[in-house]
Amino acid sequence: MMTSTELRKTFLNFFQKKGHKIISSSSLVPADPTSLFTSAGMQQFVPFLSGEVEPPYKCACSVQKCLRVNDIDEVGDKTHHTFFEMMGNWSFGDYFKEGAIDFALEFLVDVLGFKKDQFWVSVFAGERGIAKDKEAIKIWQSRGIPKERICEFGMQDNFWGPVINIGPCGPCSEILYDFTGKPCGKGKNCVPDCQCGRFVELWNLVFMEYNKNEKGEYEKLAKQNIDTGIGFERLLAILQETPSNYETDLFFPVIEEIEKLSAKKYEDSIKSFRILADHLRAVNFIISAGVLPSNTDRGYVLRMLLRRIIRHSRVLNLPQNWYVKPIKKISEIYGSQYPEVRTKQTDILLVIQKEEEKFSKTLERGIRQFEKLLRVKSKEPRAKSISGKDAFDLFQSYGFPLELTKEMAKEKEFEVDEQGFKTALKEHRETSKKGAQKKFGGVGIEQLTSEEDRKKATCLHTATHLLHAGLREILGGQVRQTGSDITPERLRFDFSYERAITPEEIQKIENWVNEKIKQNLEVKKQEMSYQEALNSGSLAFFKEKYPKIVNVYTFEDKNGKVISKEVCAGPHIKASSEMGHFKILKEESAGAGIRRIKAIIE
């Protein structure tokens, strides 16, 4: 039987032999600040796929850590997770449809030993003036997939992109695994979109052959790319012949640990066991990527997952500190592939413990309130719905994230007015926190409660400017900020650079920044229009949306020489000597052509 570790290796080795460069997984927290989490293998290659950056290699492959919050309602079924790994291969202007299909079949059939008749495929049927993908149909047929097992679907299922309104996009072709080999007999037509569970989508091959232009027309691209993604856990479950992804060697040891601590059996409470195993793994990876629970953005997602974990642990009657052993198991399972889950184990346990302390006080009261609500609602005629205001009260008074209320409601066949919840939340934010929009580096100022934390984050924010300037000084002017995130504990800075920074360079950058801090630079703040700011030579972080009037921060030395000049919304200290000693803790890759630095003020 193939283990999970062997499967990753087998995949990467296969594509390496076919001329692909092995690229390691980028962080779950992407360099691109417009998305919260990495959700597909292609994300780190977007600059190559869009043609913005010339790729340094023609073909690549990877096993990528992904997180999809959108799939949370599906978790508990056999094949969907929040966190999962996606394996994939890419061609940047090299091979196209034929190559992608041949590689996929060779890997599945010749390497893994499947038979071709265990697969079905889907292709693009043509829609909105874009032609049917006859080429793909022809290739599949010529490779021995009969036309009875080639299904055609429209835009919704078999066309990818563009990411925004314009840009590269194209038809895709999915490879589906057929578990039973025979129709379910329930519906008329048991084909890949049948909900009976006969099929699972395994591998998506995207053929990027069009560019959607401003007029909304699809024009053929001169340089065509391939982007593919296989669900690692799904393929593993098929290879290990398990009833679902949860009985594979990635999950089952964790489920067994939980079972030992619970009076309930996996078979009897499958959903809660699966949700716990899935969410525990997800929070492991989110926390090890440096995220902490909060009420906004990534921190919110983490908090929401933790609170769902806590509730399901009550469903299974798990004792205090039950999560220690399962977390240790997760770290054994993933430690060699992703060392961060091992090195961050103490942090992970601490974060769970703290959140549990916080939430357990209100959880029981919240559940009682929720049950009371349902009793009242059940008496109302045709009311199988919880209002947005009630859902918001559960959030505000008892700390129930919307997703948790939704899940509990669904168990009792109730719905939640999500739009109403969002409206109530928005109104609340607008009235009670005037400064709620003032964000710096993803942390709402109002979330930093203590004065001390506020001061620390302000120093780190100021240090970020010096770091950026130092990087440009030591490494060169091609360094550009691509992202930044600040907590009271540390700063994280992403920037464009093509290779790892050497220890000597790190030392030089650190020294440069510390020297500037010691010189007690003056930090000047000026307000001007965005255009004026650009004209005056300030650096702006191009992916950010700036207001019309912006703040420009200038750092000047004693002789009036400008060290750094940047558009920025964050809070800053007045003079650099208010800061302590600057130290770089870590330098790593955050995606193709992007480096990430984590640093602290001691």
The strand pairing partners of 318, in sequence order, are none
| Shortest distance in whole angstroms from residue 68 CB to ligand ATP | 5
CB 64 within 8 A of CB 88: yes
| Near ligand ATP by CB under 6 A: residue from 68, 212, 516, 595 | 68
The Cα–Cα gap between 597 and 467 comes to 9
Where in 112-247 does DSSP place strands (E)?
A: 119-124, 150-153, 159-160, 167-178, 199-212, 218-231
CA separation for the pair 256, 250 (Å, rounded): 12
Letters for 1-40 (x = contact with ligand ATP by CB under 6 A, - = none) are ---------------------------------------x
In the complex, minimum distance from the CB of residue 364 to ligand ATP, in angstroms, rounded to a whole number: 31
**Residue 403 touching ligand ATP (CB under 6 A):** no
At closest approach, how far in Å is the CB of 88 from ligand ATP? 8
- Binding ligand ATP (rule: CB under 6 A), the pick from 233, 257, 393, 473 is 233
Contact status: 234 vs ligand ATP (CB under 6 A): yes
Contact call for residue 406 and ligand ATP (CB under 6 A):
no
- One-letter amino acid for residue 315 of the chain: V
At its nearest, how many Å lie between ligand ATP and the CB of residue 231?
Answer: 2
In degrees and rounded to multiples of 5, residue 135 shows phi and psi of -60, -45
Ramachandran region of residue 206, left (φ > 0), alpha (ψ -120 to 50) or beta? beta
Residue 247: count of CB within 10 angstroms of its CB: 16
Gyration radius from the chain CA atoms: 26
Instruction: Please report how close the Cβ of residue 247 comes to ligand ATP at its closest, in angstroms.
Output: 15
Contact between 281 and ligand ATP by CB under 6 A: the answer reads: no
Q: Which of 20, 65, 78, 81 binds ligand ATP (CB under 6 A)?
A: 81
Of 191-230, which residues contact ligand ATP (CB under 6 A)?
201-204, 229-230
Q: How far is Cα 156 from Cα 122, in angstroms, rounded to an integer?
A: 12
177 is a contact residue toward ligand ATP (CB under 6 A): no
Give whichever of 15 and 84 is closer to ligand ATP, judged by the CB atom.
Answer: 84
Instruction: Closer to ligand ATP by CB, 88 or 593: give it.
Output: 88
Task: Determine the residue with CB nearest ligand ATP.
Answer: 231
Does residue 86 belong to the site contacting ligand ATP (CB under 6 A)?
yes
The nearer residue to ligand ATP, 164 or 222, going by C-beta atoms, is: 164
Nearer to ligand ATP, 60 or 523 (CB): 60
| Shortest distance, position 227 Cβ to ligand ATP, whole Å | 10
| Separation CA 435–CA 447 (nearest Å) | 11
Helix, strand, coil in percent for the chain, rounding step 5: 45, 25, 35
The distance of closest approach from Cβ of residue 205 to ligand ATP in the complex, given in angstroms and rounded to an integer, is 9
Give the closest residue to 496 by CA, choosing from 114, 99, 101, 47. 47
Q: Report the residue number, 100 or 202, with the smaller CB distance to ligand ATP.
A: 202
Please select the residue that binds ligand ATP; options are 20, 65, 80, 329, rule is CB under 6 A: 80
Closest to ligand ATP by CB, 72 vs 533, is: 72
* CB 203, min distance to ligand ATP, A: 6
Please tell me the distance from the alpha carbon of residue 481 to that of residue 199, in angstroms, as a whole number. 44
End-to-end CA distance of the chain: 50
Residue closer to ligand ATP, measured from CB, 133 or 393: 133
- CA–CA dist 130, 218 (Å, integer): 7
Q: Could you tell me the CA-to-CA distances from 81 to 251, 296, 314 in Å, in that order?
A: 11, 22, 21
Residue partners of 159: CB distance under 8 A and separation at least 6: 124, 127, 130, 169, 170, 171, 172
Q: Residue 20 gets which letter from DSSP? A: P
Q: Is 231 in the site for ligand ATP (CB under 6 A)?
A: yes
Q: Under the rule (CB under 6 A), what is the footprint of ligand ATP?
A: 40, 68, 71, 80-81, 84, 86, 201-204, 229-231, 233-234
